[in-house]
Structure 1
Amino acid sequence: MELARGASKGDGGAEALLGELEGLVQDVVRASSWWELHGVDCAILALSLLALPAGFLCLSSENVLVFAIGIAILGVCHSTLTVKGSHLATHGALTKSKRWSKIWLLFFVEVCSAFTAEFGKFSHVNMHHGYTNMVGLGDSSTWKLPCLNCYVYMFLAPFLIPIITPLVALERLWKVELRIALRTLGLISLGLYSQYWLLLNVSGFRSPSSALACMLLIRALLAHPFLHVNIFQHIGLPMFSRDKKPQRIHMMTLGVLNLPRLPVLDWAFGHSLISCHVEHHLFPKLSDNMCLKVKPVVSRFLHEKQLPYQEDSYLARFRLFLSRYEELMVQAPLITEVVGLQ
């Protein structure tokens, strides 16, 4: 199958294409205000923080509907802070200040997400973005659990993400300096205990077990789409070997897929993880709002140059994984031949 019909051949041709696209995107960036570059996404994160008190107060109500609203508020806010916040902070897309970038990284990844900042940044930025869809390196294989069958993985495993995340973080602490391990342990403990304390003292939970169960429910509310998005947008697309990888523009257009706009996930996960994932992989330091703004420029350019611009619906990808789970998630992926692109 011809993967990129009409695309320029040779390293120089691919670099020229990417350079031309970068120039078009930089024109958009230079013409954008601070509000567009960072403000919109910072406002969403700030609103999520400001909405937390209302969520905890709703949980103190004996009215079932109000209680459910509290769960929804806290669940969406938690995903916004942990997924959107951590993702933007990992890429340094919230601010140009290196000091504040470090502060936001620690806050969103360690306090909010209960994970390690250094390993989170390395595994996502250095590995996943540096080696996108390269087998054994950046191919989203960390999300594969071949020991689980299709339905357990797709429907039940996401509930374990809030439990597995801090446990993996603890395992990683043995591999870092003592001062970093102590800092990470302290910040993760602060985040987890703060939520537990608020459930007991603001929401009025009377037993530790009920508070912990509510914590799990809140943190797992959007765990299913989170897990699904992480596999839908890469696994099942062309995979490459380290010694025969294509040039960057081909690697990102062949191995990355956009999902359609989904309001709740746009808010909680961010455009760069949903409808602008191709744009994000090509320009990872752009904020969610800027990925959305440059999307027409990127899609038009790739279509004009007859390069892949892959899009599919959430439902279509869900059906694909249910029907081809064994092939995509259990068996070793096939290496895509990229002869003619290099």
Structure 2
Amino acid sequence: MCHVGDVWKQQLSATKKRFLCLRSENALVFSSGITVLGVCHYTLTVKGSHLATHGALTESKRWSKIWLLFFVEVCTAFTAEHATHGHVKMHHAYTNVVGLGDSSTWRLPCLNRYVYMFLAPLLLPVATPLVAVERLRKVELGTALRTLALVSLGLYSHYWLLLNVSGFKSPSSALGCMFVTRSLLAHPYLHVNIFQHIGLPMFSRDNKPRRIHMMSLGVLNLARLPVLDWAFGHSIISCHVEHHLFPRLSDNMCLKVKPVVSQFLREKQLPYNEDSYLARFRLFLQRYEEFMVQAPPITELVGLQ
């Protein structure tokens, strides 16, 4: 808990300074405030939420629940129950199993490659709370009211800080700043979610391989990128294979076990998928129809059963 508390205090201090930077009339200082506030937002909403859904922030069950509600509902404006179910119970349990954990929620066949890769990410700040509200139909009334209250608290707090700390003069300018900061890293966020699983081997529920093979074949690590490593975390960027094998490990531990995991998989003659962000981006532009529109083919797993 001490480590989490220290990180949270540092993040809070940095965020407060960036809210104050938005008061400046100097374009460079103002742009710096927008940039760092956006990065801080994604650190809370992506890195924080991801680790919280896995219970990787603390060993205490009570504090795990508190952090989950804070990072997912207050910061991200999404539902904690659906985040945990969709990511942990489906995606991790059935990684690349068609119809279950195959990342199909990220496919939008109605969009062409350029709209999807360049324009669709800008919809994420608006779509996320709207999807959360739609999902509330499937939960109990008490849970729905709690989620609505926490999501509203998070959105209004952001808005209030921009008006009262950053000094924005009108509601429209504050809302515009909220949109810019919440969409700052939306493009890499959407891209990373598809780059690391889609286009890799897909399995059927009745004929899926053993877990070690499933994670080795169906998960990919991206090369380290300083900004994304900080904002999204090592477990999402450069240690995604390790994260899928050991989902409750912290980011730092994923980084430490990375050499051991890569050596083990290669010794066992299993794939250890790695690629750069730019290479995957080019691949998806070239093969968008195959990866994102057509139904993924089931991989024949000869010799792996």
Q: Residue 215 of structure 1 aligns to which amino acid in structure 2?
A: M
Per-residue deviation, 1:136: 1.2
Structure 2 alignment gaps of length 5 or more: none
1-structure distance, mates of 2:267, 2:12: 42
Percent identity (aligned): 78
1-structure distance, mates of 2:277, 2:5: 27
Matched-pair contact (CA < 8 Å) for 1:44–1:267: no
Match of 1:66 in 2: 29
2-structure distance, mates of 1:180, 1:69: 38
Per-residue deviation, 1:146: 0.7
1-structure distance, mates of 2:83, 2:204: 23
Q: Residue 321 of structure 1 aligns to which amino acid in structure 2?
A: F
Q: How do 1:102-141 residues align onto structure 2 when only pairs under 5 Å count?
A: 102-141=65-104
**Residues 155-205 of structure 1, C-alpha deviations (whole Å, 9 max, x = no match):** 111111010000000001111111111110000000000000111111111
1-structure distance, mates of 2:5, 2:111: 38
Going from structure 1 to structure 2, the CA distance change for 1:45 and 1:302 (only over 3 Å counts) comes to farther
- Between the two structures, name the one with larger relative contact order (CA 8 Å, sep ≥ 6): 1
Matched-pair contact (CA < 8 Å) for 1:276–1:295: yes
Per-residue deviation, 1:43: 4.6
Per-residue deviation, 1:45: 4.4
Superposed CA RMSD: 1.2
1:186 corresponds to 2:186: no
1-structure distance, mates of 2:107, 2:9: 33
Q: How do 1:65-214 residues align onto structure 2 when only pairs under 5 Å count?
A: 65-214=28-177
Q: Residue 172 of structure 2 aligns to which amino acid in structure 1?
A: S
Aligned length: 305
1:278 corresponds to 2:241: yes
Structure 1 alignment gaps of length 5 or more: 1-33
Normalising by structure 1, report the TM-score: 0.87
Q: Which residue, out of 4, 11, 15, partners 1:52?
A: 15
SS at match of 1:61: coil
Matched-pair contact (CA < 8 Å) for 1:45–1:85: no
SS at match of 1:272: coil
Matched-pair contact (CA < 8 Å) for 1:233–1:256: yes
SS at match of 1:205: coil
Per-residue deviation, 1:47: 2.2
Normalising by structure 2, report the TM-score: 0.98
1-structure distance, mates of 2:158, 2:209: 46
Match of 1:234 in 2: 197
SS at match of 2:168: coil
Match of 2:250 in 1: 287
1:243 corresponds to 2:206: yes
2-structure distance, mates of 1:106, 1:291: 24
Q: Which residue, out of 202, 218, 229, partners 1:255?
A: 218
Per-residue deviation, 1:75: 0.2
Per-residue deviation, 1:42: 6.1
Q: Residue 73 of structure 1 aligns to which amino acid in structure 2?
A: V
2-structure distance, mates of 1:307, 1:44: 36
